[in-house]
Structure 1
Amino acid sequence: MESVESFERLGLALAIGAVVGVERHWREREESAGKRTAGIRTFMIAGMLGGLSGLLEQTLSVEPARYGLVVIAMFAIFSAIFGLYQFRELRAEGNYSVTTTVTAMATFALGSLAVLGNARLAAAGGVALVAILASREILHQFVRTLSWNELRSAIVFLAMAVIVLPILPTAPLGPFGGISPADTWQLVVLLAGISFLGYVAVKAFGQVRGEIVAGAVNGLVSSTAIAVTNARLSAAGHSAALLVAGATAANAVSYLKVLLYIAILAPPIAGRLSPALVAAALVMAGFSLIFARNDTARHTEHRARNPFELLSVLKTALLLVAVGFLARAAAAFFGQSGLLVVSTLSGLADIDAITVTIAGILDTIGAEFAATALGAAVIANTLAKASYALTLGSRDYGARFFLASATALMAGVGMFEATPMVERLLTEHLLK
């Protein structure tokens, strides 16, 4: 290793210790000098010590069989000394936390990795370590609010994903091109995982930060459920403006969620649909801010559905299979018009399943028609939620929600129609 690279890697080891030390020192910033085992300086030295151990390893361990002994020995000595001092501090305070000791050991190990191994991996590990340390309150709050049913559902789901997925056949089964059980199950994992992000946000942060935040995080789980729930609450006499703010925020997030799906599953149509979806999301978000500008009341709590419940997972899988079969059958018998009808009807109930289905048959129907079919599903889904608002909610709630939905659709459709023309003009300009 050249000397310049050695300096760079040793500097990275020192930087890892510094960022970890800032977080640890901030936790005990009120303590006077000499009252804490480790602060920012100690963790910087720990990171640098790990890096220096790596450099010594490269210098002294000439024989491959002995490679690693220097780092292991230094790590053991460092851990023993640090653990002894930490034990004395915790004993004096009556504390039983071992977090700081384990953090110091991890900092040393990352410093060694920065010199001996993958520097990018070491840097990423340092950032991840600081993120975990800084998330103490959030993680503790999440565990306090976690119920046994939620934990059991996650365990069952993980068992099914780890045990069942490897043995599922990958070859398509059934008529009209068939459906791959393994691919379908992987999509179930993707949909449930993204929805679980919203569920975790609700559990960790709570829903006491305003209807916009509550609606946005729940929009990852189900924007339709938020629209229906808020409509019924408005009919019961709750603030229509605040409830619409939450529902429109959920809608804005749902548009972005569709964009995320197609970016992952169908990149060829992401560019075609992204301007329309972003425009619709921005309009919905703007209306949400307008409706919530006088948010001073305490809003009603909603209970988010756990997307990892076994029954929910099975329903998602069956829905994907059913929509996929109907879409393929309609395309085989009626061509593009049949697929467009199925896409629109599916969008009335759920947008996730038809998004996944269209992504799966993209090679068969072409990118342009796939974008049109998915756009029709998004329009149908938005109109369905607007109809729920008009029929189930108060007059004020329904009128506000319909106004926001209609404006968002006009913006999205207008952007969808204008995108090819803009792309053509840009191409002609670049060719000149």
Structure 2
Amino acid sequence: MDNIELFQRLGLAIAIGAAVGVERHWRERDEPEGARAAGIRTFTMVGMTGGVAGLLERSLTVGTAYTGFVIVGFLIVVAIVMAIFELRQAIAEQSYSVTSVIAAILTFGLGALAVTGDMVLASAGGVSLVAILASREFLHSAIRKLQWIELRSAIILLTMTFVLLPILPNTPVGPYGGVVPRSVVLLAIMLASISFVGYIAVRMLGASLGDLIGGAVGGLVSSTGATVDFARRSRELEEADASDAISLAAGAAAAGAVSLVRTIVLVGALAMSLLPELLVPLALGAAVMAGYATVLARRQAGAAGERSLGNPFELTAVAKMAGLLTIVAFIARAATAHFGSAGLVAASAISALADVDAVAVTVAGMLPPLDIATAGRAVGVAVVTNMVAKAVYAFAFGRRSFAMHILVATVLAVGAGVVAERLQAMA
């Protein structure tokens, strides 16, 4: 490692300390000189101390049995000194916070990492540390507002994601590609996440805007899953909140609009030659659904009262929905296997009962041997089928008022897309 790189690494260690010091000093900026235990200068020097310890570590202990002793020794000294001064300040102010001591230890460690390890990780760690320190008020406020049912739902979601999912087999079971246990749980996690995001959005932004944003976020993941989840939630509404089905319908329509935009992006990324065939119809359909969602959200925004929020997601209901969509996907694969490439359009329609992305990826992979007109027709049929399927799901799982709005939005969007496709064909 040359001197220039060493200077860069030591400079990063100092910069990390300075960034943390700015936040710490700003928080106690009104204190007179000598009244704060550590500010911008102290934390800058803590970061520099970590860097110097790293340099000494590299110079003195590389290749010996004492690797790591220098950094650990410096760390112990820094921790003890900071703890002593923070203790004196805590006694004087009757405070019980050890945040600055932990921040100093982390700053030292990141400074040492900047010199001896990965500079990118050190930089990311420094930014994350400053962000955590600066978000104290937000985090404290969020914890005060947090309810037990929300905490429980978050714990269940995290357990499913980081404990259950990694240990499940990733090999298919059964014919026609089978069912992959990990994929089923991943689908359940996706549905639960959509529901949880929607719940948080409604709590923070109110019913109309929260459902609209929650639906748009859900559309980035799965518009089918978002529609099914919103439909289920509309049926669970109490009679006093029945009018909120309109707000949920706005969210489902927003998910549909985002899904169409996502298909445009996917086709453009995988098969640019196919994009001119689909761009105008899909974009017009997305605009119609987005407009309809906006109208519904504005209409509901004037409604009085607030929705009574229940469980962020009911695990049993989520499992049932995941199982249903898995069965639909399995049937679609079986039908595709029987139709073969000769029935591409029919197979695309069946596959789209669960998802459009798989069809878009498959069709894009068949180009250029497959002609553009057939490819465009296959993707177009898949998009229309998926939109109609979501309307059917809305009637099957949601309130009638919710489902009627999804049906109207679907008819308008499909009609606009068909008209655009016909005009494009005549041009």
Aligned pair 1:379/2:404, yes or no?
no
Residue 215 of structure 1 corresponds to 212
Determine what percentage of the aligned residue pairs are the same residue: 36
**1:325 aligned residue (313, 321, 330):** 330
Contact 1:53 1:71 in 2 (8 A): yes
Query: Any unmatched runs of 5+ in structure 2?
Result: 219-225, 368-374
1:29–1:393 distance in 2 versus 1, CA, 3 Å:
farther
Q: Following superposition of structure 1 onto structure 2, how do residues 246-265 of structure 1 map, counting pairs within 5 Å?
A: 248=250, 251-253=253-255, 255-256=257-258
1:342 aligns with 2:341: no
Deviation at 1:4, TM superposition (A): 0.8
Aligned residues of 2:198 and 2:210 also touching (Cα < 8 A): no
Aligned length: 402
Deviation string 1:281-316 (CA, Å, 9 cap, x unpaired) is: 566556666787897887634637534x43244224
Q: Does 1:43 align with 2:46?
A: no
- Change beyond 3 A, Cα 1:331–1:210: closer
Pairwise CA distance, 1:2: 1.0
What is the CA–CA distance in structure 1 between the aligned matches of 2:117 and 2:422, rounded to whole Å?
51
CA distance in 2, matches of 1:419, 1:305: 47
Q: Given the alignment of the two structures, is residue 354 of structure 1 paired with residue 352 of structure 2, yes or no?
A: no
Match for residue 129 of structure 1?
A: 129
State the distance in 1 between where 2:186 and 2:248 align.
Answer: 31
Structure 2 distance, partners of 1:173, 1:137, is: 49
Measured in 1, the distance between the counterparts of 2:70 and 2:199 equals 43
Q: 1:10 touches 1:114 (CA, 8 Å); kept in 2? A: yes
Deviation at 1:376, TM superposition (A): 2.5
Q: Could you tell me which of 316, 320, 324 is aligned with 1:315? A: 320
Deviation at 1:27, TM superposition (A): 2.6
Cα-Cα RMSD: 4.8
CA distance in 2 between partners of 1:7 and 1:35 (Å): 33
1:414 deviates by 8.1
How far the C-alpha of 1:355 sits from its partner, in A, is 4.8
Distance in 2, matches of 1:210 and 1:304, equals 13
Q: Verify: 1:195 aligned to 2:203, yes or no.
A: no
TM-score between both structures, scaled by the size of structure 2:
0.72
Inter-partner Cα distance in structure 2 for 1:311 and 1:379: 26
Aligned equivalents of 1:288, 1:147: Cα separation in 2: 30
Relative distance call for 1:228 and 1:99 in structure 2 (3 A) is same
* Other structure's SS at 2:209 match: helix
Q: For 1:6-405, what aligned pairs fall within 5 Å after superposition?
A: 6-159=6-159, 164-165=164-165, 168-189=168-189, 191-192=190-191, 194-195=193-194, 198-199=197-198, 201-202=200-201, 206-208=203-205, 211-217=208-214, 219-220=216-217, 222=226, 248=250, 251-253=253-255, 255-256=257-258, 268=270, 300-301=306-307, 303=309, 306-307=312-313, 309-334=314-339, 335-343=343-351, 346=353, 353-355=354-356, 362=362, 366=366, 368=375, 371-372=379-380, 374-380=382-388, 392-393=400-401
What do the CA deviations read for 1:234-254 (whole angstroms, capped 9, x no partner)?
x989999xx978854664355
- Aligned twin of 2:370: none
TM-score using structure 1 length? 0.71
Q: How far apart are 1:26 and its partner, in Å?
A: 3.0
Return closer, same or farther for 1:120/1:193 CA change in 2, 3 Å cut-off: farther
- Whole-Å Cα distance in 2 between the matches of residues 285 and 95 of structure 1? 52
**Structure 1 unmatched ranges of 5 or more:** 347-352, 421-432
Taking the aligned partners of 1:38 and 1:417, their CA distance within structure 2 comes to 70
| Contact 1:255 1:277 (8 Å CA) reproduced | no
Q: How far apart are the structure 2 equivalents of 1:223 and 1:322?
A: 17
Quick one: distance in 2 between partners of 1:84 and 1:192? 50
Letter in 1 for 2:53: S
Aligned match of 1:424? none
Counterpart Cα distance in 2 of 1:276 and 1:67: 65
1:364–1:289 CA distance, 2 compared to 1 (3 A): closer
Distance in 1 (CA, whole Å) between partners of 2:83 and 2:424 is 62
Higher mean displacement: 52-61 or 246-255: 246-255
Matches of 2:281 and 2:17, distance apart in 1: 45
| Inter-partner Cα distance in structure 1 for 2:187 and 2:394 | 28
Q: 2:31 and 2:168 mapped to 1: Cα distance? A: 57
Once the two structures are superposed, residues 173-199 of structure 1 have per-residue CA deviations (whole angstroms, 9 ceiling, x without a partner) of: 22223222233334444x147526725
Distance 2:61 2:279 in 1: 55
